[in-house]
């Protein structure tokens, strides 16, 4: 750009990279170079200089790679994927999947024994987001209904457990199905009147619903404890409590029963195990659903609602089933969240949560189960690993989203349609 | 007794009267055509018959072997004053208001295709046909998740039906391709196969020959005949290709400006001066200008 035709291409590349770095510095300097110290501003240009350096190196690398054959090949491989993100699965399926899946399952089961308490809690949170991602994936990815208030069902589940134990003495295991049912009921209640709407309108209604639930929890102080929240009891295994001493008369703490010393991470270990099994069951369930008439109808509805109606599919009930199924999953996630935190309050259920769950689904590739799992793990574990950059977490998150949308607009994982083996049909 | 009876059908969009007192009948086992110049209201009639529009006035009745369906009622009508004194009528109307809709029309046995093809483009050809059989399948979630024998039998049967129809429209080799990838002519045929998978008694084809070359049009007319002769389905079609219409249809209804101007067999229609006037304009009219 800057150099003339006679310039050595390497020099031209250097010039252009320098120019990019200069622009970066100019843009970044006023934003993060001037720091408020007390009542005065102070110039601290380390961050902009680093940013400019990073841009310089990357730009130079790209320009130099463009100048030779192998470099271009690398760039092509890294360039945005073109065309639709959908292919038909191979006839035989993935041959090594039969060995990988049990290995992954066993790895998931033994993993917590190698983690410290801190990382165990991080992994539990990641698993909760996997569950939420799978739930929202049903609504957004499969049925194509943009739901911006998914966190409402998460909140319903969490509060069902916390309030249920406070008012009616419900335990973890009773709360689990009850919360799933209640969340599904809320999903149905919201869904039935609004599911005749399309796209943007539905998104706004669900957004409003999410906020309504949060505001009710926040302001109905006499019932929900308002912003002070409610405490949730520890989970139990056959009436064995995971606490130092039994909270409920007649129960024995887990460690006393087995005669092992008390360890506070036992509770997390237990939650992880149950959660892991629930997530596995959910993955199996969603994968089955995609092959079942119900899942097919959801996807058909996403593709073309009018065509669906012309074939006798009741679009309202089909949407409702997707909505309720998603809400149910969210509710189950909520119970685990309450049990894991031991305490819930409305500030855990803000719009940002909904946005994060939606980001997981979009990033993973709408409708792809594997993609959603990877995205959920990345988006929850990465911020923990990047604690040192806590100030820039949201910035990195934003950059990641933009880059992903340019690089792989259809999400991380390509969607495979099922292949049917039929007589006479060649593929 | 006729299969479809359209009686004094009127459709108003704001101030525009798109259909004005349209009446016609379709005999079971016939191939009928709805023709007329552009903007005459053909597609509006289709949308009313298949339940995508709620008619402003008039009745549409379907009589499939003694099974009678009121195609206007199932869409869910407005409440009338009388309903509040008649609990049964009230309950009926409430039921259809909550759970009615165009899918009821399809369930009653009216299938359709669209002028601009509406396939599930990112699903495979077979999946498209399986979705069409949704209402005939075992939809129990528990059966599906546990993959019970009953569920597998129902899926297997659906696959067989789908393959059967793919063979008829000659798309067997494309079974496992994405519907959106198919060439245009194949997509048209797939859409017909898909609507046939709902096992209808009446199939409404909206400009099935649009965008097809003469050879493909020839194949289409054979296909439509096969549907009627071998699969005992009544065909109602909208078409601009007069050659095709005159060749295959037994009964033709001509629409112009939202009104039926002529109806009868191809010979009568061909000779009808009103139809010629609608299509070509008359000398008198030109003289006035």
Q: Mean pLDDT, chain B, as a whole number?
A: 87
Pairwise CA distance, residues A163 & A231, whole Å: 8
pLDDT of residue A82: 57
Q: Where are the domains of chain B?
A: 4-71+200-288, 120-197
3-class SS at A41?
strand
Pairwise CA distance, residues A304 & A358, whole Å: 22
Average pLDDT over residues B102-112: 88
* Chain B residues touching A304 at Cβ < 8 A: 118-121
- If residue A253 lies in a helix (H) or strand (E), which one and from where to where? strand A252-253
pLDDT of residue A180: 93
Helices (H), A111-220: 117-136, 151-168, 172-194, 199-219
From B269's Cα to the closest Cα of chain A, the distance in A is 31
Pairwise CA distance, residues B271 & A241, whole Å: 91
Q: Mean pLDDT, chain A, as a whole number?
A: 83
User: Nearest Cβ partner of A296 from B127, B135, B166?
Assistant: B127
Pairwise CA distance, residues B210 & B79, whole Å: 40
Q: Cα angle vertex A328, ends A323, A329, to 5°?
A: 105
* Chain B residues touching A423 at Cβ < 8 A: 163
Residue B170 predicted with pLDDT over 60: yes
pLDDT of residue A405: 77
Q: With CB atoms and an 8 Å threshold, state whether B163 touches A423.
A: yes
Complex ipTM: 0.88
Sign of CA dihedral B121, B122, B127, B131: negative
Q: Can you read off the two tokens belonging to residue B166? A: 């793919």
In sequence order, the 6+-apart residues with CB closer than 8 A to the CB of B37 are B256, B278, B279
Instruction: Calculate the CA A47 to chain-centre distance.
Output: 30
Pairwise CA distance, residues A363 & A410, whole Å: 8
Asked whether the beta carbons of A361 and A412 are under 8 A apart, the reply is no
The dotted CATH code for B4-71+200-288 is 3.40.50.300
pLDDT of residue A1: 47
Q: Which residue of A has its CA nearest to B200?
A: A311
Q: With CB atoms and an 8 Å threshold, state whether B52 touches A309.
A: yes
Residue B138 predicted with pLDDT over 60: yes
Pairwise CA distance, residues A168 & B233, whole Å: 60
From A375's Cα to the closest Cα of chain B, the distance in A is 23
* Average pLDDT for runs of 10 along chain A of length 427: 62 88 87 79 83 89 82 72 68 74 87 85 92 92 89 93 87 89 91 79 89 91 85 76 67 70 78 92 90 90 90 89 93 93 89 88 84 88 78 77 78 78 55
Pairwise CA distance, residues A160 & A365, whole Å: 31
pLDDT digits (tens, 9 = 90+) for A150-166: 999 999 999 999 999 88
Lowest mean pLDDT among A118-132, A277-291, B55-69, B109-123: B55-69
pLDDT of residue A246: 66
How do B251-256 and B31-35 pair as beta strands? parallel
pLDDT of residue A327: 93
pLDDT of residue B40: 87
Asked whether the beta carbons of A340 and A112 are under 8 A apart, the reply is no
From B51's Cα to the closest Cα of chain A, the distance in A is 8
Instruction: Calculate the CA A331 to chain-centre distance.
Output: 15
Average pLDDT over residues B153-167: 90
Higher pLDDT pick, B133 / A68: B133
pLDDT of residue B1: 77
Pairwise CA distance, residues A61 & A74, whole Å: 12
Q: Which residue of B has its CA nearest to A85?
A: B122
* DSSP assigned state of B124: B
Pairwise CA distance, residues A320 & B258, whole Å: 38
């Amino acid at each position: 750009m800057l150099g003339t035709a006679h310039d050595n291409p390497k020099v031209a590349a250097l010039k252009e990279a320098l120019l990019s770095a200069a622009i970066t510095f100019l843009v970044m300097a006023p934003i993060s170079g001037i720091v408020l110290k007390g009542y005065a501003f102070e110039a601290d240009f380390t961050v902009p200089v680093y940013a400019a350096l990073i841009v310089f190196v990357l730009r130079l690398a790209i320009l130099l790679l463009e100048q030779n054959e192998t470099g271009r090949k690398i760039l092509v491989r890294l360039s945005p994927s073109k065309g639709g993100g959908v292919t038909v699965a191979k006839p035989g399926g993935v041959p090594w999947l039969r060995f990988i899946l049990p290995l992954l399952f066993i790895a998931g089961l033994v993993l917590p024994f190698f983690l410290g308490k801190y990382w165990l809690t991080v992994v539990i949170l990641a698993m909760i987001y996997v569950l939420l991602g799978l739930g929202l994936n049903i609504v957004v990815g499969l049925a194509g209904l943009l739901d911006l208030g998914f966190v409402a069902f998460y909140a319903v589940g969490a509060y069902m457990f916390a309030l249920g134990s406070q008012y009616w003495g419900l335990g973890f295991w009773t709360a689990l199905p009850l919360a799933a049912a209640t969340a599904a009921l809320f999903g149905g209640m919201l869904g039935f009147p609004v599911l005749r709407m399309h796209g943007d309108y539905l998104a706004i209604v669900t957004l409003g619903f999410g906020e309504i639930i949060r505001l009710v929890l926040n302001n109905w102080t006499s019932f929900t404890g308002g912003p002070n929240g409610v405490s949730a009891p520890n989970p139990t295994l056959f009436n064995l409590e995971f606490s130092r001493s039994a909270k409920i008369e007649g129960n024995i703490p887990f460690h006393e029963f087995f005669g092992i010393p008390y360890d506070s991470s036992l509770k997390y270990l237990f939650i992880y195990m149950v959660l892991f099994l629930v997530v596995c069951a959910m993955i199996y369930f969603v994968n089955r659903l995609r092959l079942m008439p119900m899942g097919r109808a959801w996807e058909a509805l996403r593709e073309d609602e009018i065509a669906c109606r012309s074939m006798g599919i009741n679009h309202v009930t089909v949407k409702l089933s997707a909505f309720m199924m998603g809400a149910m999953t969210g509710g189950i996630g909520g119970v685990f969240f309450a049990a894991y935190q031991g305490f819930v309050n409305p500030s855990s259920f803000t719009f940002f949560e909904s946005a994060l769950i939606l980001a997981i689904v979009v990033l993973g590739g709408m409708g792809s189960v594997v993609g959603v799992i990877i995205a959920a793990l990345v988006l929850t574990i990465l911020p923990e690993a990047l604690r040192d950059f806590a100030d820039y977490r949201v910035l990195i998150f934003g950059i990641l989203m933009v880059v992903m949308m340019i690089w792989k607009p259809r999400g991380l994982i390509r969607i495979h349609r099922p292949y049917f083996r039929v007589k006479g049909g060649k593929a | 007794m006729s299969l479809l009876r359209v009686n004094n059908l009127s459709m108003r969009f704001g101030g525009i009267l798109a259909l004005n007192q349209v009446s016609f009948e379709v005999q079971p086992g016939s191939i009928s055509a709805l023709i007329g110049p552009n903007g005459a209201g053909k597609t509006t009639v289709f949308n009313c018959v298949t339940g995508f529009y709620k008619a402003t006035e008039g009745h549409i009745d379907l009589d499939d072997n003694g099974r009678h369906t009121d195609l206007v009622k199932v869409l869910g009508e407005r409440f009338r004053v009388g309903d509040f004194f008649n609990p049964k009528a009230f309950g009926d109307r409430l039921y259809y208001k909550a759970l009615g809709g165009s899918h009821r029309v399809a369930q009653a046995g009216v299938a359709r295709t669209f002028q601009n093809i509406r396939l599930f483009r990112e699903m495979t050809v077979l999946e498209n046909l399986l979705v069409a059989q949704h209402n005939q399948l075992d939809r129990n979630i528990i059966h599906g998740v546990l993959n019970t024998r009953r569920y597998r039998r129902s899926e297997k049967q659906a696959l067989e039906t789908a393959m059967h129809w793919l063979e008829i429209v000659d798309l067997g080799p494309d079974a496992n391709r994405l519907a959106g990838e198919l060439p245009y002519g194949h997509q048209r045929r797939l859409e017909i196969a898909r609507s046939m998978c709902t096992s209808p008694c009446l199939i409404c084809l909206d400009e099935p020959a649009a965008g097809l070359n003469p050879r493909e049009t020839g194949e289409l007319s054979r296909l439509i005949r096969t549907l009627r002769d071998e699969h005992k389905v009544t065909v109602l079609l909208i078409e601009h290709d007069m050659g095709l219409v005159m060749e295959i249809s037994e009964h033709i209804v001509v629409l112009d400006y939202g009104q039926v101007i002529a109806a009868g067999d191809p010979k009568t229609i061909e000779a009808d001066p009103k139809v010629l006037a609608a299509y070509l304009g008359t000398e008198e009219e030109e003289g006035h200008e």
